[in-house]
Structure 1
Amino acid sequence: MEIVKTDVLVIGGGGAGMRAALAAREKGAEVLLVSKTPLGKSTCTYLSGGAFSLAVEGISRETHFKNTLQAGKGINDPEFVKILVEEAPERVRELHRFGLKGAWRKGYFACLGKAPSWGAPLTDLLADSARERGIAEKPWVIIFDLLAEDGKIKGALGFEFRRGVPIAFLSKATVLANGGGGALYPRNDNPVRTTGDGYALAFQAGCRLRDMEFVQFIPIGLAEEGSPGLLLAVSLPDAGRIVNSSGEDVLEKYQIVDKPVAVRCRDTFSQAIMKEEERGERVFIDLRALGDKDWPKDNMAMSQKQMLRDRFSCAARLLRIYPTVHFFIGGVSTEPDGGTEVPGLFAAGEVVGGLHGANRMGGNALSEIIVFGYRA
């Protein structure tokens, strides 16, 4: 068995893991990033819509705070929400100064990535920054157990599956940043390796998990027969119409009025679709009336426009939509600095619960990983 020693072991090569690694390196620690894929690739950050929800461009901190609590049905941890709202703008401006290209809009900052990896500019920037600062990386590794001694986590056991080699990682501190478990569901928009490993590792080590009953389904998964699932741009439902087989306006029928509906009302929107399905109705998005002038101008919508017109004929017919698993709301219980109740073990990103309450507001995931990744 190989043995690798480091000061800080970060498990997970997505946005939260890389931001945590950079913060540890800035403080002089020797850092090793271990992940199932090369840094940033095939992660939820990489395949995200690329948008950060923030108190910028006319949206106040009070509004961001209120909207986050409203989306989470008021059971969010208010301390975590306050930290997110107060620190996210500066963390994103910091990335912008580092060279992250994007557009500042009312209430958010959007990376200028291309479909389907709109978050790639962020992961590429973080990966390049990690390598420039001498952070070591070990891809193609599955971590299957944490090492404990005298009640403290001292590293982890892993398996490098491309070489078939077991590895023991010994560290002074270990950070879990290996995401959620969306790929456990048949219908999801997560990378195939997003299998909830962090929850199992933390629980077996003695950590409490919270809010695990909440799994977010995003309502705007394309469900055209014979075609792979595709997450539609969150601005499209507000620009078009959501109708059932009988022609009824679904959002109006269920009084879903807070816009953008695919950002602020993902839970009730998904529930409405399922209620219609139970009644024998199918639900569609109607984009037929959208010309170039009316098509949303955000990066995600613009990058999908030609594909939806050419491949799916959205200008001529309705497109079926159906909820798809998008995000695990619950996770490891931590302190605001990422510390868990087990000494030596920290966590950040989707693997952590508490911030989002019962439902996550769109755009808060990327804000979460840079704020709490930095803190961990």
Structure 2
Amino acid sequence: MTEQAVQKMESRPVFPFTAIVGQEEMKLALLLNVIDPKIGGVMVMGDRGTGKSTTVRALSDLLPDMTIVANDPFNSDPEDAELMSEEVAKKVYENQTLETESKKIPMIDLPLGATEDRVCGTIDMEKALSEGIKAFEPGLLASANRGILYVDEVNLLDDHLVDVLLDSAASGWNTVEREGISISHPARFILVGSGNPEEGELRPQLLDRFGMHAEIGTVKEPELRVQIVEQRASFDETPIDFRNAYQQPQTLLRNKIVKARELLNAVELDYDLRVKISQICSELNVDGLRGDIVTNRAAKALAAFEGRNKAEEQDIFRVIPLCLRHRLRKDPLETIDSGDKVRDTFRRIFS
């Protein structure tokens, strides 16, 4: 961790991820997306005050540092061409030496009132026309590259802007075009949206584009509620001491994530299990193939997280409600299935 990152952490301590009580569904979905970002992000829906924002910030703080090209606004990866800006890629092609630095994985908050220019970036046409150079002012998508983009109350965001975010998240690139000038840069991030269902749902067409859908509710057990309140009070009073108490479990979980990322490509999922996943999607009348793809990826990511190189039936059972429940609706007025319908279909097919 860089000195600057340490100072930032100490000036604004973040609640430890391993100290969060309950909300297992949301935590699992977030961890699996961190292990395999190609799962496609998470939509978290739940009551107000259930720790959605706290959990996402805690996840970002938990993750290991990343290596970037120094002074690059796109967090370019010095090793991966898919995660390099055009300028960095050109330097690599010319065999120039790249200066690198370590940086905390970014967690970018997208405010509700953000404009498309603020999100995607803008081209300075005056400079482009007068000086003949592509003058680009990066937006939030550039800052979020290789990190997490968090949109609170995504269900209140303009549909067009949600479409832009989902397109960038799916393709891994952001393209800005104006007056015949086009600029592209890498924008591979984990998109996390959250919202309160009382304030309205996303349209099914947009909801389907999120890889996973986690539902969280207010904790009902009095003992757990007391534990959460006491933890929060302790953290607010002495945040550094509270964080220090969770240093060991945080380190263990961080190492587990790193190992899972390394193991992921070696994880196998038997053909007959893949066929059964597709059979479930077919019986549930899930449109398209996103449900099949995401369930396959999530099952492998879970196996990698638990240190296994083969995904099993139980892995599928744990992740498939998160991957399919938001893809079942055909009528926008229907509520999202809690997961029971998906589980019942799973049990029938796997029996």
- TM-score relative to the length of structure 2: 0.23
RCO higher in 1 or 2 (8 Å CA, sep ≥ 6)? 1
- TM-score relative to the length of structure 1: 0.22
From the two aligned structures, give the one with the greater helix fraction. 2
From the two aligned structures, give the one with the greater strand fraction. 1
